[in-house]
Amino acid sequence: MERNTWRKVFAYTGLAIIGLVLAYYATAVGNAGIAAGILGKKDAGADLFTAASATLLVGVAMLAAFGYLALKSAVMMMRTQPR
């Protein structure tokens, strides 16, 4: 049987926050790609925008997956604590 610890809950929470920060960073890169396209660097702007879109999806997926695991582990820890 796998033992849940609070350390695992905090690790999952940290990874979820990293996913949130990655998604936030991707929006800045996407805006830079749009600005580059407007200013005349069409190829560079398209590359930046495409990379930002992929990074945004990865960041949101990380946030969702590790956030779920953190909540699940926290609930299991709360249920198994002695009263």
Domain range summary for the chain, segments of one domain joined by +: 8-74
What is the model's pLDDT at position 42?
Answer: 83
Please check whether residue 30 is in contact with residue 49, taking contact to mean a CB–CB distance below 8 angstroms. Answer: yes
What is the model's pLDDT at position 64?
Answer: 96
- Per residue of the chain (83 residues), give pLDDT as tens: 467 788 999 999 999 999 999 999 999 999 988 998 899 888 888 888 999 999 999 999 999 999 999 999 999 988 876 66
What is the model's pLDDT at position 83?
Answer: 63
Global pTM value: 0.82
What is the model's pLDDT at position 1?
Answer: 45
Q: Residues 41, 45, 46, 48: is their CA dihedral positive or negative?
A: positive
Give the Cα separation of 76 and 64 in Å (integer). 18
